[in-house]
Each structure stands twice: as C-alpha cells, then as structure tokens.
Amino acid sequence: MIDLRSDRVSSSDVPPASSPAYPLEEDFWETGTARLKRWIPWLHLFQAFRIAMDYRKLLVAAVGILLLAAGEWACSLMPFAPSTFRYVWPWESAYDSPLNGLAVSANASSIGAPLSDSTVFGVRVLRPLRDFVSAGWPLVRPSRTWGEIALGWTRLLWLLAVTGLCGGMIARLAALNFAGKDCSLRSAFRYCFVRLASYMGGPLLPVVGLGLLWGLCAIGGLVGVIPVAGPWLVAIFWFLPLILGIMMSVVLLGVGCGWPLMYATVSAEGSDAFDGLSRSYSYLFSRPWYALWLLVVTCVYGTALVLFLHTVIDLGVRCAFWSVQSGMGEDRLRALVPSEFAGAPTDFAGATGPERVTEIWMNAVRMAEPAFLFSYFWTAAAIVYFLLRRSVDATPLDAVDEDFPLSTEPFPLVGMPAVEKREAANDSGPESTSPPAPAT
C-alpha cells in the first residue's frame, strides 16, 4: 500500500525489475581492444605514433629544433664561450642508411642529425632529455670556470624556454587528442605562452633546494680549512655531507627523470610550476617500477618507429635519385645533387642557382626525422603522465583542462524578464498601429 501521508512506499507495491514498468537498458557493448586497454592501460602508449604524426605537432617540433640550433649558434658568439664549443645546424651532419645496418656510428648519424647522433637507435628517442641533462651538467660538475658556468646557464635557460613553449604546445595538443578533444594551434600557443613561467619554473625550483644543500656542504668545507682541528672536524662529521649528497642526488634524479612530466602536468592540468614539480616527484617515487616499465615500452616502440621512418626516408631519397637519373643521366644529376645518400652531409659549398634550391629541399628532408622524434618525445610524455596519474590518483584518462575562454556576454534573458525587455524595446521604438480586430 502507498501511504499518501508520507513518501514511503511499501516493498510489495514496487514492481519487479523485469516488469514493463522498468524496461531494461541496452546491453553495454565493448570491443576487445577497448577491454584489453582497460585491463592493460599501458597499451595506450601505442597511440603515440598516430598522435605524434599530426602535421601541427611536426611543424611545432621543426620550429623548436631550429630555435634550439639558433640558440647554440648564439651561444658560440658569446664572449664567455670557450673556443672548443661547437654548434651544429639540423642539416649539417652525416647520413648513414639504416639499410646498411641498425647500428649508427658516432660520426655518421642519420638524415635527422641533431637528434640522431648516438650509437644506439633506441637512445635517439630520449635525445631531448639528454640535451637537457647535458645543458645542466656543467653547473654541477667540479673544476668549472666562470665562462663554463655562464655558458651552462645560458644554454639551460634557452633550452627551457624553447622546450617550454614548443614542447608544451605538443604536449598540450597530445593531451587533448588523447582525451578525445582538440584545439587550434593558436589556442595551444596562447595556452603555453601564458604559462611559460610555469613550464620554466618547474625544473628551476629544485635548483633552490640544491643550492641550499650545496651551500651547507661548502660551509663544511670552509671548516676544514681551520689548521689542525679542521680536518678532524670534517672527518668526524663526514656523515653529514654524505647525507646531504644523497639528498642532492635524489633532487637531481627527480629533475632529470621528471622534467618531461612537469611539462605534461602543466599542459594537461593548466596548473603552476609547483604542481608540476610535486606531481612528477610523487608519481615517479610512488610508482617507480611502473614508470620504468612505461619508459622501456616508450623506448622500444620509439626505436621501431625511428627505424621505420628512417628506412622510408632513405628509400624515398634513393628512389627519387634513381628515377630522375634514368631520364637526366647520372653525371648531370650528380652535378645537381653531389651526394644524395653518402656517409657525409651533402656538400653544397659554393653552390649557386639550381643547386641552392636542391640544397633547401635536401635540408628539409633532413629535418623530418628529428621533427618526428621531438613530437614523439613530448607526445609520449603526455601519455605517460596520464597513465601514472591514473595509477596513483585513479583519475580518468580523459580528464584534461579544456581551458574554454569565458564569454563576456551576459546570459540571455528568458521567461518574464525577456517579455518585459521586449515590451520596453517596443515602447521606446516608433509607434506602430495596432492590427485591426478580427471580424466576428
């Protein structure tokens, strides 16, 4: 019975779920691929190739690589730069065909030179991370000169600014694409430009803590200068510098390994530098083995992609040369393209006319591989961040800061306010004759 005086309903009056009063919803259907990704989330990493091959990300990556090379060129002109410092433009390195073997010698890198000069194919995927470490290493190693310190800070700040803008844009686009959303290139640029201080501040915040720990150890070193008693005091309290040194190593490892996650955090969450730093440290030290496994999968998959892309580019250059050679002749074509796939960069010194145009196209081809590597690195960093966030915080993979611009227009009026506004507008306008009454 239903009691009209209360909201309680007797259980005997509720129809069973199988009755027509409660029609069953359609059964939820899930594909085998979606079910497998739900059971094994790290399979989402294999979306990195599709997401990274977006022409907008490749364009941003190419611009970032050119800006990094331009920064290296500008550093070589600084008065504090040592004479041994050298810079390399993206197209000024050797080329070795992957068809001749998987290994690449130290002096014969691929057509995508600036991100491909390591001895093992798999290390190329982590080249942006290696550039970050190599730029900051002169600041912590011993026996540094003031010129090396100034050069190290200049290179590091320029690298953080360029990767914060270009890498942040790629991570932003990749995060939205991974979550099933999208935005324009202009919107991504505005999003990252406004948060450029957050991108640069994330890796620089640990420098403050590192400097404090370094200063405490330096004070201990000053104590050791005291005659007779100084060495004894340093020897007795030597465990303190050891503890501080271990703390500094944790800070350095956290920055080196968590630097890509800091950028991915700002791109996905729209947060500040402190949030990017705290999340990267928290996720890495909370799930170290899972993070290591994601890194291994990223490197192995990226290695296969680099080998495939390198082979396609190399075979394409060869086919273009051979096909044009069949009509133009080998001697005439080699005068136009002196070395199309030799183990050295194409020599266009003193080239004029058509050879200069050929040089431009060959250099553009040489940019294809490093641009893809740059795009893949930051795309994979965004996906790894989503997977670690889901593992630690149980956040859905499609949760991302959409950053929709707020409308400055007031909300539209509805109901009686809309009627009153319309009548007020009619009263203030020109008088209109009322329609005649309908005939009866």
pLDDT for 110? 34
Residue 92, domain member (yes or no): yes
- Tell me which residue has tokens 């400055």: 408
pTM, entire model = 0.74
Neighbour count for residue 264 (Cβ, 10 Å): 31
β-bridge mates for residue 2, sequence order: 9
Position 72 in a domain: yes
List, for residues 111-164, the tens digit of each pLDDT value.
333 333 443 444 678 888 888 877 777 777 766 777 778 888 888 889 999 999
Q: Which residue's entry shows tokens 């005091």?
A: 233
Structure tokens given for 179: 């979550």
In a domain, 384, yes or no: no
Question: Is 28 part of any domain?
Answer: no
Residue range(s) defining the domain that contains residue 149: 46-202+287-300
What single letter denotes the amino acid at residue 24?
Answer: L
Closest CA to 115 of 101, 130, 103: 130
The parts of the chain modelled with pLDDT lower than 50 are 1-11, 14, 17-18, 20, 22, 24, 94-122, 341-348, 405-409, 432-433
In a domain, 170, yes or no: yes
Q: Is residue 436 part of a domain?
A: no
> Which pLDDT score, from 0 to 100, does residue 207 have?
82
The pair of structure tokens assigned to 431 is 């008088």
CA-based angle 192:198:201, to the nearest 5? 135
Count of structural domains within the chain: 1
* Residue 427 parent element (H or E): helix 416-428
Report how far residue 44's alpha carbon sits from residue 382's, in angstroms, rounded to the nearest whole number. 11
Say if 95 falls within a structural domain: yes
The secondary structure of 200-258 as a DSSP string is HHHHHHHHHHHHHHHHHHHHHHHHTTSTTHHHHHHHHTTHHHHHHHHHHHHHHHHHHHH
Task: Supply the pLDDT for residue 26.
Answer: 52
| Residue 52 lies inside a defined structural domain of this protein | yes
pLDDT score of 120: 45
